[in-house]
Structure 1
Amino acid sequence: MPTNPTGQKQPTTRKQSKNTLEDPKAIKKETKDKHGSNKKVRSNKEKPPRRRIFPIWLRLIVITILCAVALIVGLMVGYGVLGDGQPLDVLKLETWEHIWNIATKTE
């Protein structure tokens, strides 16, 4: 095996490099914290798998619902407060037909 400038042997194949990563001396290294004491640092290989309490699929559903609620509230504020109409009229189909007719200039 070739050596690096510090005199340590370097792996030449993937299998050899994988074996060196599994070596406990290669995974854990000593570092000094701010108080000067040595402590062992875990590498990413030793972390246990993370269990999600709030799954990603549920997050997507909740975010979609929150976006829909924010859209409806924004429409109600815009139509009711800024437009001097009744806020609940935004939820009626006739209101949107009237707005569509004005936007496309059809009667």
Structure 2
Amino acid sequence: MSATKRPTDKKQRSAGRLMMLIVWTSVKIVFIPLLCIVALLAGLGIGYVVLGKQEWSDVFDWNTWKHMYDLIFEGSR
């Protein structure tokens, strides 16, 4: 007597794997840049507010960053 082979649903399994791969890739594409932006804002906050003892609202002021740029690159023009 020989054992009967069970039918395998490779198409159904591979479709589920493909869907999971698409979802995981999408999460990585969205999550990693979002995490970088959060890290940038946290670094700005810690560096400017905590270490520099300035106000949080000044972090997002364009004139603050223009002034810093002018200070750094003053002699190169």
Q: Which of structures 1 and 2 has the bigger CA Rg?
A: 1
Q: What is the TM-score with the length of structure 2 in the denominator?
A: 0.64
**CA RMSD, 1 decimal:** 2.2
Q: How many residues align?
A: 60
Higher-helix-fraction structure: 2
* 1:93 and 2:72 matched: no
2:7 corresponds to:
none
- Aligned partner (choices 46, 64, 80) of residue 49 of structure 2: 80
Q: What is the TM-score with the length of structure 1 in the denominator?
A: 0.48
CA contact (8 A) 1:76 1:90 kept: yes
Higher relative contact order (CA 8 A, sep 6+): 2
Higher-strand-fraction structure: 1
Share of identical aligned residues, percent? 33
Question: Any unmatched runs of 5+ in structure 2?
Answer: 1-9
Deviation at 1:57, TM superposition (A): 2.6
- Aligned partner (choices 52, 59, 66) of residue 20 of structure 2: 52
